[in-house]
Amino acid sequence: MKKGILAVSFGTSHIDTMEKTIDVLEKEFAKTFEEAVVYRAFTSNMIIKKLKRTANIKVQTVGEALEKMAADGIEEVIVQPTHVINGIENDRMLQEVMEHMHLFRKVYVGKPLLSSVEDYKKAIHAVMEKTVIGEDEMLVLMGHGTDHHANSAYPTLEYTFHSLGYQQVLVGTVESFPDLRNVMAKLEISGRKKVVLMPFMFVAGDHAKNDMAGEEDSWKSELEEKGYEVRVILKGLGEFEGIRKIFAEHIEEAEM
């Protein structure tokens, strides 16, 4: 039976971070699961259109990619998202998968990054083992945030950091709760005046470069206005080997 893996990402129009994250992960999938052909899909139609317009790069939607896989003779499909949480984008992906299941003999779906307590622990250790923070610094992670109930993953993430002994880590989101104001209240309590900003997103794209690290109207500029010394680590989660390993494990678990 011909097998295929569909790697599904929200997507990014920033080629530099795509090459360090999505490209690397897909190559590792191909190497680890040699019996399968790896395909790519993005869930953001806006990014798909922008890539075609600005870089002449064609990326398929989930539905288009599944139809291509069926046309190529793939009979067994594993759909693996690179989403951080089980939120809106993951729900949309699942809907498209369900609409195309009839094209295949077998369809498996892997879980997003933070889907179990063990996932949280593994993800935290994967990040902290490769991130150097001074004793006088606080690490502030910027997640995306969502209106979806899965947004509870972000407060849970911070709680888990602290329970594992990483007390110098705070988690905020750019579009939901906790926001920068919540983070700044905790920074004030900590007494530390040095902050390290890093995205907790699979790619370090628009949100990371502009909303987090931009020179104006950003987390960096607001923190600096409040007197904090800010250092930026512009590194997407997909650049961490340990994070990519979790996604590979989710593929293996999906087949069980």
Catalytic annotation, pick one of 14, 83, 144, 250: 144
Q: What is the pLDDT of residue 130?
A: 98
* Model pTM score: 0.96
At 30-77, the pLDDT tens digits run 999 999 999 999 999 999 999 999 999 999 999 999 999 999 999 999
Specify the DSSP element, H or E, that contains 175. Answer: none
Confidence grade of residue 229 (pLDDT, cut at 50, 70, 90)? very high
- Cβ contacts of 51-56, under 8 Å, gap ≥ 24: 51/11, 51/13, 54/13, 55/13, 55/15
Contacts for 145 with CB less than 8 Å, ≥ 6 apart: 151, 154, 173, 174, 175, 176, 177, 179
Confidence grade of residue 155 (pLDDT, cut at 50, 70, 90)? very high
Exposed / middle / buried, residue 32 (Cβ in 10 Å: 0-12, 13-18, 19+): middle
Average confidence (pLDDT) over 135-147: 97
Q: What is the pLDDT of residue 181?
A: 97
- Nearest to 75, CA basis, from 1, 181, 149: 1
162 is catalytic: no
Average confidence (pLDDT) over 172-183: 97
Binding residues for Co(2+): 144, 175, 207
Average confidence (pLDDT) over 7-30: 98
At 76-98, the pLDDT tens digits run 999 999 999 999 999 999 999 99
Q: In the numeric block, which tokens belong to residue 188?
A: 């004030």
Confidence grade of residue 255 (pLDDT, cut at 50, 70, 90)? confident
Question: Is 210 a residue whose pLDDT tops 80?
Answer: yes
Binding residues: 144, 175, 207
Question: Is 29 a residue whose pLDDT tops 80?
Answer: yes
Please report the domains of the chain, with CATH numbers, ordered by start residue. Answer: 3-113+239-255 (3.40.50.1400), 117-236 (3.40.50.1400)
Q: What is the pLDDT of residue 236?
A: 98
Specify the DSSP element, H or E, that contains 5. Answer: strand 3-9
DSSP 34-63: TTEEEEEEES-HHHHHHHHHHH------HH
Residue 91: CB atoms within 10 A of its CB come to 13
At 97-114, the pLDDT tens digits run 999 999 999 999 999 999
- Nearest to 194, CA basis, from 215, 177, 170, 175: 170
> Are 235 and 24 spatial neighbours (Cβ–Cβ below 8 Å)?
no
Q: What is the pLDDT of residue 3?
A: 98
Strand partners, 231: 196
What's the order of all strands across the beta sheet hosting 169-173? 169-173, 137-143, 194-199, 229-232
